[in-house]
Amino acid sequence: MSTQIQLTHSRWRGPGPCNMTSHIQEGRTHFGAGSGSRRSGAGSGSGVSGLGKHTRSHLATAMADGPVAEVLLKRLEAADGGLDTANLAAELGVEHQAVVGAVKSLQALGEIIEAELRSTKHWELTAEGKEIAREGSHEARVFYSVPPEGLAQSELMQLPSGKVGFSKAMSSKWIRVDKSAADGPRVFRVVNSVEDEVQRRLQLVQSGQVEKLSEKEKSELKKRKLLTEVTLKTYWVSKGSAFSTSVSKQETDLSPEMISSGSWRDRTFKPYNFSAHGILLDSGHLHPLLKVRTQFRQIFLEMGFTEMPTDNFIESSFWNFDALFQPQQHPARDQHDTFFLRDPAEALQLPMDYVHRVKRTHSQGGYGSQGYKYNWKLDEARKNLLRTHTTAASARALYRLAQKKPFTPAKYFSIDRVFRNETLDATHLAEFHQIEGVVADHGLTLGHLMGVLREFFTKLGITQLRFKPAYNPYTEPSMEVFSYHQGLKKWVEVGNSGLFRPEMLLPMGLPENVSVIAWGLSLERPTMIKYGINNIRELVGHKVNLQMVYDSPLCRLDAERASPQTQEAA
């Protein structure tokens, strides 16, 4: 149960001490000097009990700034054994919290005082309970509202106590309802008089005789929210081993003047709190996505990769699909999966010599392939769209690489946004980031790809990996990469990979003995795994909790090099 500190004054009742309360009620802690009861000895000789409300308020404020601590020490010096903070607050006519603050301040100075937290429980009437103790229970008021000749039920229910009192009086068999009355249901008395036990019990509590009630009776009153159990918390203060009535304020700063004059030797300094948190600086905070993006980029650079240009969110179908040996009738080119543009609807410039080689490979085959055997259309290839993957940028980079003679091995990477017409759920968005790595060299195999992926994800701190065979139009063989998500308690796909097909590479002009391994993954899913986020919509979009951005670590230290515990699935 969380505890909230709240100060409450009860109404000033004339001469004598101000009544203040300290209790725990409905999960709250209140500090004060009693609720509705006078403390013995309070008010006599205090010099403040008879002051007006305005004067007392100013006095309480002034004493809370320091004098209350001095008064506490002087009272403690004269006391036999110790004193209670609630009694002292009542005597001084100040809020109990002011006395508690003085106790805490004195405790911070050393062993001047000792304070023991004490708590006692008692029963107290609620606001409704006080009303019933004064005016009677709802059922009694309903009973006495019914005249001997009876009262229409509709009229009875309009009374202030009608709804609650009617049901209680009926269950006590004080009244009855005649539904056959001519003017509608009518209520009559069953007995001549009643004993209002509820009022009697509440008055016993009010007069301090709660011990006369049984536990069952108190429980029933509590259930009706007429009675509440209160915990009174106070401090019992006694002298400490270093007790003194003259306490000098400890210095908190060592000034140049103290050093030059040597006065620091005669000063008492407050001990330095090495466990205290410093003041948080006002500054910007990186989103977890940006942090992980920076980490991915650093990993690629450490592994010798060069970043590809990815500044074209709008791409032609040729570079997004056709250049990757993806047929024009492929389902991914449907509007249900891809966002096509209306203006501009088509790309105007394409490398036509390369376009003709791609057309021939699709429609007739070549380079050892029979192709797809369909009528390839240039109009379809010109359609503009929001790129569905950064592999379009990889195709452009490999095409530029093929134009350089002689061939030089290369390693490329890219991290940027892509767009797909996805159904939104806990792991999918219509706009997300894709990370892609490409290695072009002689004689690369599937083993090289798996080894690079292990090294890549190990640097990221993800060692629980699984590889699953898959199909991609432009890679053969192909593999999906899975990682175990501790938050979702399941294996989540984090990437796709494979070797680019010859039908994609050879039309570009790359040598026949050159292989290209590639892999792509989302930026959002690894971020979710690393930060324990179960719903991608809590990471990106209007549901992002900015406090999460503020509280996320500045850097993560879980990406240490470790022996891979990679699990492979055939």
pLDDT for 397-407, tens place per residue? 999 999 998 99
Q: How confident is the model at residue 45 (pLDDT cuts 50, 70, 90)?
A: very low
The pLDDT of residue 529 is 75
User: φ, ψ for residue 32 (rounded to 5)?
Assistant: 180, -170
pLDDT for 56-92, tens place per residue? 444 443 443 468 888 888 888 888 889 999 889 888 8
The span from the CA of 156 to the CA of 184, in Å, is 12
Residue 271 burial (C-beta neighbours within 10 Å; 0-12, 13-18, 19+): exposed
The span from the CA of 214 to the CA of 209, in Å, is 11
Q: Mean pLDDT in the chain?
A: 80
Nearest to 36 by CA among 23, 51, 50: 23
> How many residues belong to the chain?
570
Average pLDDT over residues 257-280: 85
pLDDT of 509 higher than 70:
yes
Average pLDDT over residues 420-436: 77
pTM score? 0.50
The pLDDT of residue 530 is 75
Cis geometry, peptide bond prior to residue 309 (ω within 30 degrees of 0): no
pLDDT for 469-496, tens place per residue? 998 888 989 999 888 877 778 888 878 8
- Of 39-53, 367-381, 413-427, give the lowest mean pLDDT range: 39-53
pLDDT for 206-259, tens place per residue? 998 989 999 999 999 999 999 998 888 899 999 888 888 877 677 888 899 999
Q: What is the DSSP letter of 17?
A: P
Q: Taking the CB of residue 224, how many other CB atoms lie within 10 A of it?
A: 17
Report residue 32 as tokens: 């004060």
The pLDDT of residue 247 is 73
410-419/384-386 β-pairing: unpaired
The pLDDT of residue 432 is 84
Nearest to 324 by CA among 509, 514, 472: 472
Helices (H) then strands (E): counts for the chain:
20, 19
Query: How far, CA to CA in Å, does 512 sit from each of 79, 440, 500, 528?
Result: 100, 12, 12, 40
The span from the CA of 555 to the CA of 360, in Å, is 51
Element (H, E) at 139: helix 138-145
Question: Percentages helix, strand, coil for the chain, rounded to the nearest 5?
Answer: 35, 25, 40
Question: What is the percent of the chain where pLDDT is above 70?
Answer: 84
The pLDDT of residue 549 is 78
CB 234, CB 85: distance < 8 Å: yes
Question: What is the percent of the chain where pLDDT is above 90?
Answer: 34
The pLDDT of residue 107 is 85
The pLDDT of residue 286 is 82
Average pLDDT over residues 383-396: 91
CB 468, CB 480: distance < 8 Å: yes
CB 89, CB 72: distance < 8 Å: no
pLDDT of 391 higher than 70:
yes
Residues paired with 491 in a beta bridge:
484
- Helix residue ranges per DSSP H, 262-364: 288-302, 317-320, 352-363
